[in-house]
Structure 1
């Protein structure tokens, strides 16, 4: 059916752009190849979206099942029975069989959960698995923590679905832009001036093929934005890279950076001075602007690095806080912090270890809490650490409830930041929406030149 539709589109282009039959055959070949690749992309898109839906279904059902039973094996069994036949049911059944039929391993449950995490490589799936394993190991009230994780999962699901809808809408706009550009290109071929017809010109025919091929590439470029692995499209980045970026920020030598910037900026300053002396003020002003940027490149780079690290810390902190609140149900603050380092995000490990050591030396002081990530001056972290100190001193009031509210507020702020990030991530689709204007302009200019030459030749 798609091939038949492509043949109809090519015939319409044959009539609209006055293509000869040889060129029409070339365009048809391009269209058939495009349909072949489009079918493969379509299958991939549907599978990626299906994996996203299966991941959401798994998370939602495991939240409820684990909240009800408090046992991983029972929750997995209930979820496997409830889902419809398909890839998700197959991997859940395999995990349940592994738990029930394996007797020679000590980490049977963890291995079964790892099987699911490999099939659905999503950070939220791994976080849920870590949370369930810790609850089975340490106990504690799980209702509030699960409610927070479920709230975060719902926001993530809505955010991704909104992004998918926006991208599909942008792709439709790109296709309409291509159609409009081709219609505009055909208009000049039907100008009723002295019965001139430039459509048979080899340049016009060749440019028609080039423009059609470029428009096909533009549409495929827009479709590429729908080939995302949706279950990985969240705020979490590679933890090793995040930790390395944090270390690079803290270990950066500003004095050495200033010297390097000065050495790089001196030539631009000299060139600017020469331009001004030779009475080329605009070149001199441009050189001064470049030298200003080069002289401050160390400061600019460090500022950008700081913002990126802050963003990654802001993403990791709520997940550590949820684990900590769970541990606080059975442990005091100092022991809960010590145990939380076993599963904390890697980017927080250095500061948590320092906090742990400072609390061993001075357990009743507020300084260790206030020193935690102090160099980044993030209000939500300062507030949480103040609450933890108050809780450790026994004068906290409803500090645990306040901490849970703080986690919820952090998740809400992360959701807003992620919506902006996803919009920025697909901003290239707007450029693709404008690209057909360039291809149409190229053909229009060439066709008008051909029309002008034909008109001048006919009028002598």
Structure 2
């Protein structure tokens, strides 16, 4: 209600007539359900994130104390005395206590939690807990890895939420400043010319107010945080770029250019014969674009795949680090292949085949995506090879610690990159109110000039 009252007061402040104020208010009324829905959805997702973070922390600490899934779930249920998380935990406890499910009991018990809270880290933690209880042994290092990963993840998500709040605040300030500047310009216009009462000025003012409401709505929508769900890459699109890079180097990408240029040359000759300057200019522009496009296309595809690998590699490396707590390097690599992100899967499979052929060579590890510049990935793979070659379990555990530390750095870099992608372009909304305000002021000034010209003509 306060928002609608503010819109009416702003319309009166701008000198809008009743019909225009009603139109703007009606537009705001139509958008209000979506604005409220976005706010509620964001609040629910924030609550789900907080529940998931607290659940993971409690489960890992409880399992560290007593390595039993049932005990850990019972401890976690005490942290959530009510709500959605309490219900799904109680459901999991009931399934385990009564053994109501066939197959893997723990996986079935965890399914309700995973369905309610869609989160990669949640699934990863559950898989680790199931494996740890089935195998037994000391998993303190792996628990430390998961706890540290959870802590860094929470810090990054809250940092992203703060960045979103800052952008939302900046959009609001920009709207206020734009509204104030427009009002000052309206005050400066001489009332004698009645420019502000002109239908064009009234329409432009109403359109300006509608644009402000739209900017605020889109800002809220774009800044709505996906607290748990990570942005899913478009697999078909990424696969297309991946295959393009594999089959086309810069020279290969340019192999059809001479044929196209020959065709354009013939068309240019026709344009000269017809004495068409426009045709020559157009063909010249197309020729330049055709000549440059393969290189541009190659760079864009390479940049896209490098970014996707930078995001995906730390996820795979985390799974590998957990597997190496109980497996040797070769078995860990084989088992990690099934859950590897698709952008890595083919190269990892090729690397495993090469390792089978040359088990004592570092070449398979160095030949991972050689057509891309991936220094962090190559460094991590060299470290994995050193663990492969060493064989000693004690020395391997020290190297796993180094690998985990490096992976936390890579994961931090990858998720910050994803966060930047999620905010890309939203900051431009801060500038739009100034643009729309300028258009309104230009319209009012134009009407003033028209009025001055009419008066001048009458005096002559």
The within-5 A match list for 1:141-220 is 141-191=138-188, 193=190, 195-220=192-217
CA change 1:217–1:308 in 2 (3 A) is same
Task: Name the SS of the counterpart of 1:70 in structure 2.
Answer: coil
- Matched residues in 1 for 2:454 and 2:96: separation? 86
The within-5 A match list for 1:56-455 is 56-191=53-188, 193=190, 195-233=192-230, 237=233, 246-247=242-243, 249-251=245-247, 257-266=253-262, 291-376=287-372, 378-394=374-390, 398-455=395-452
Gaps of 5+ in 2: none
- Matched with 1:14 is 11
CA change 1:64–1:34 in 2 (3 A) is same
CA change 1:209–1:70 in 2 (3 A) is same
CA change 1:299–1:401 in 2 (3 A) is farther
- Matched residues in 1 for 2:382 and 2:140: separation? 24
Which shows bigger deviation, 262-271 or 14-23?
262-271
Please report the RMSD computed on the Cα atoms of aligned residues, expressed in angstroms.
Answer: 3.6
CA apart distance, 1:275: 9.9
- Matched residues in 1 for 2:101 and 2:266: separation? 75
CA apart distance, 1:87: 1.4
Per-residue CA deviation, residues 266-290 of structure 1 (Å, 9 max, x unaligned), is: 556778899999998xx96x97676
Q: Give the TM-score of the pair, scaled to structure 1.
A: 0.84
Q: Give the TM-score of the pair, scaled to structure 2.
A: 0.84
- Matched residues in 2 for 1:52 and 1:405: separation? 29
- Tell me if structure 1 keeps the 8 A contact 2:387–2:396: yes
CA change 1:92–1:265 in 2 (3 A) is farther
Task: Name the SS of the counterpart of 2:225 in structure 1.
Answer: coil
- Tell me if structure 2 keeps the 8 A contact 1:99–1:108: yes
Which shows bigger deviation, 298-307 or 195-204?
298-307
CA apart distance, 1:178: 2.0
- Tell me if structure 2 keeps the 8 A contact 1:320–1:340: yes
Which shows bigger deviation, 290-299 or 116-125?
290-299
- Matched residues in 2 for 1:88 and 1:395: separation? 43
Aligned residues: 454
- Matched residues in 2 for 1:180 and 1:126: separation? 47
